[in-house]
Amino acid sequence: MAFIATADADGACDCSFRAGAPGFVFVLDDKTIAYQEYRGNGVLASIGNILENPQIGMIFLDYYQSTVGLHVNGNARVLSPDDVTTLAHLPTNMVKASGVKGGRRPEAWIVVDVEEAYIHCSKHVPLMKRQDKQIAWGTDDESVKGGDFFKTKRTPIL
């Protein structure tokens, strides 16, 4: 899993969570990584921001073993699933991932040209216990997605 930070052309920031099976972020070479962008909550803030401002920050935290993190900062670009095959040295598993998986096809690929990467010390990263969770990938069911968890839709405006 990773947390990604982007900002629009005016510098308004957004932070989002991304996750997938181990290897969901693909290493293309020493300075380039890529990950799939799926339909989420429909806001598409990350893609919109990247189209306006390519700077991206990512942090990967290991809560289950080492508790070490990895910061990755760089510039991102958005590719369509069909365009991803134009990348040089495309890993075989990435080609397979570009197709339909579990009824889902990526909306886009985010390719990151890494400018810096460094370790996040484990001192304050908590060690957590992994638990099984049934994940309904690609669902639009409000109750499964968390819906109105904070009950903002039911709160009258004063």
Q: How high is the mean pLDDT of the chain?
A: 82
Task: Count CB atoms within 10 A of the CB of residue 135.
Answer: 9
From 15-19, 20-24, 40-44, 53-57, the region with the lowest mean pLDDT? 40-44
Model pLDDT, residue 103: 58
Is 143 part of a structural domain of the chain? Answer: no
Domain CATH for 9: 2.30.110.10
Q: Which tens digits make up the pLDDT trace of 91-138?
A: 656 655 555 555 567 888 999 999 999 998 878 888 888 778 777 766
Is 146 part of a structural domain of the chain? Answer: no
Model pLDDT, residue 96: 58
Burial class (CB within 10 angstroms; exposed 0-12, middle 13-18, buried 19+) of 111: buried
Domain count, the chain: 1
CB 28 within 8 A of CB 91: yes
Residue 75 above 70 pLDDT?
A: yes
Our measurement of the distance from residue 100's CA atom to the centroid of its chain's CA atoms, rounded to an integer in Å, reads: 18
Is 137 part of a structural domain of the chain? Answer: no
